Amino acid sequence: MVLRKEGCVLVTGGVGFIGTHLCRALLAQGRRVIALDDMSAAQLPVSADLLDNPLFTLMEHDVIEPFSIAEPVAGIVHLAGQIGPNNPLEGLRASSIGTFNCLELALAHEARIVLASSGDIYGNATVHPQAEDYWGNVNPIGPRSAYEEARRFLEAATTAYRNVHGVNTGIVRPFNIYGPDVQTNRRAVPAFISKALAGEELTLHGGDQTRSLCFVTDFVEGVLLMLDSDDPGPVNLGSSEEISMRALAELVVSIAGSGTIKVVPAVAGDSAGRCPDITKAAEVLGWRPKTSVRAGITASIEAMRAMEVAVQ
């Protein structure tokens, strides 16, 4: 299936970090795009190239509140709620009420809807790497439970709407998406880069945990492919190139040319290792990430350095 041409694409969380990149990519395809965002995690100021595009509309609205779209909707990408474990109630609401709102809209417009879950759905995995048929190892009352269980609920609700109402749904599981990002307090990579560029201390919690990092443009390409398919998922979207958090911090300091590293105890409940099996993405979508960690970190540092110069 190819996403039908008539109708807009709605992106919830559309002016957040990932949403901004996704909206640009959709506009480059000539799509009409509506970005729904409550601005709590927006990339501010919103990029002029989006606001000045006649095919783009910013709808300032909280996804957990009822909403409707007057014009035909061909596709929906639900990103709102990818705000991590530090905002448990907001994440739970966005992944439950917000997800129901998006699924109801897809049902009303007969639209294809792709929902972003998370690689965190696997919890403190006992299987490595994690494939989509692994059910995970999640503590429902642990320190990360709200975030992990929110994503699990999102997937359950999506599956129910597909089975009960025949909604054309797709689930993707992003793994540690990164890139040039001004919201440095929300993600490890931009936080590391910001500290390094300032010549400050990078705080490393433990350091032996491993992660796979996926550059944002690679992830967006996978989402677009999923939007143009009929596959229900879930499909892992991430990199099989694994790196320890210690090695990541050292790489950032090396490329930035400044900064120091301080090691503190690991955060309770943090996963020891997270790395996706991306065989299904390759087979179903023909997708593989293209950007190495070194290339992605270098591009992110250069972009964030340019942002700082522009602000000065």
The answer to whether 252 and 297 have CB atoms below 8 angstroms apart is yes
Degrees (nearest 5) of the Cα angle 301, 225, 243? Answer: 40
**pLDDT computed for residue 308 by the predictor:** 64
Q: From the candidates 122, 147, 161, 178, which is the catalytic residue?
A: 147
**pLDDT computed for residue 77 by the predictor:** 98
The answer to whether 105 and 73 have CB atoms below 8 angstroms apart is yes
How far is the C-alpha of 247 from the C-alpha of 254, rounded, in Å? 10
How far is the C-alpha of 10 from the C-alpha of 76, rounded, in Å? 5
Strand partners, 273: 210
In-domain check, residue 288: yes
β-bridge pairing 169-174 and 235-237: parallel
Strand partners, 78: 12, 115
Alpha helices in 83-237 (DSSP H): 88-93, 99-109, 145-165, 188-197, 216-227
Beta strands in 54-153 (DSSP E): 56-60, 73-78, 112-116
In-domain check, residue 43: yes
Inter-axis angle of helices 293-311 and 188-197, nearest 10? 60
What domain range is 163 assigned to?
8-311
**pLDDT computed for residue 226 by the predictor:** 98
β-bridge pairing 73-78 and 260-264: unpaired
The answer to whether 130 and 123 have CB atoms below 8 angstroms apart is no
Which CATH number is 251's domain given? 3.40.50.720
Sheet holding 210-212, edge to edge: 242-244, 210-212, 273-274
Q: Which of 105, 122, 219 is nearest to 161 (CA)?
A: 105
In-domain check, residue 229: yes
In-domain check, residue 265: yes
In-domain check, residue 79: yes
How far is the C-alpha of 199 from the C-alpha of 293, rounded, in Å? 22
Q: Indicate the burial class of 237 (C-beta count within 10 angstroms; 0-12, 13-18, 19 or more).
A: buried
How far is the C-alpha of 74 from the C-alpha of 202, rounded, in Å? 44
- Percentage helix, strand, coil for the chain under 3-state DSSP, each rounded to 5: 40, 20, 40
Does residue 234 have a cis peptide bond before it, meaning omega lies within 30 degrees of 0? yes
Q: How many domains does the chain have?
A: 1
The answer to whether 218 and 291 have CB atoms below 8 angstroms apart is yes
Q: Does 147 qualify as catalytic in the annotation?
A: yes
In-domain check, residue 2: no
Per-residue pLDDT of the chain (312 residues; tens, 9 = 90+): 578 889 999 999 999 999 999 999 999 999 999 999 998 877 778 889 999 999 999 999 999 999 999 999 999 999 987 555 567 888 888 899 999 999 999 999 999 999 999 999 998 888 989 999 999 888 889 888 888 899 999 999 999 999 999 999 999 999 999 998 756 556 788 889 989 999 999 888 776 788 899 999 999 999 999 999 999 999 999 998 889 989 999 999 999 999 999 888 876 656 667 889 999 999 999 999 999 999 999 999 998 888 765 544
In-domain check, residue 224: yes
**pLDDT computed for residue 203 by the predictor:** 86
Q: Is the dihedral of CA 220, 115, 287, 184 positive or negative?
A: positive
In-domain check, residue 150: yes
**pLDDT computed for residue 84 by the predictor:** 57
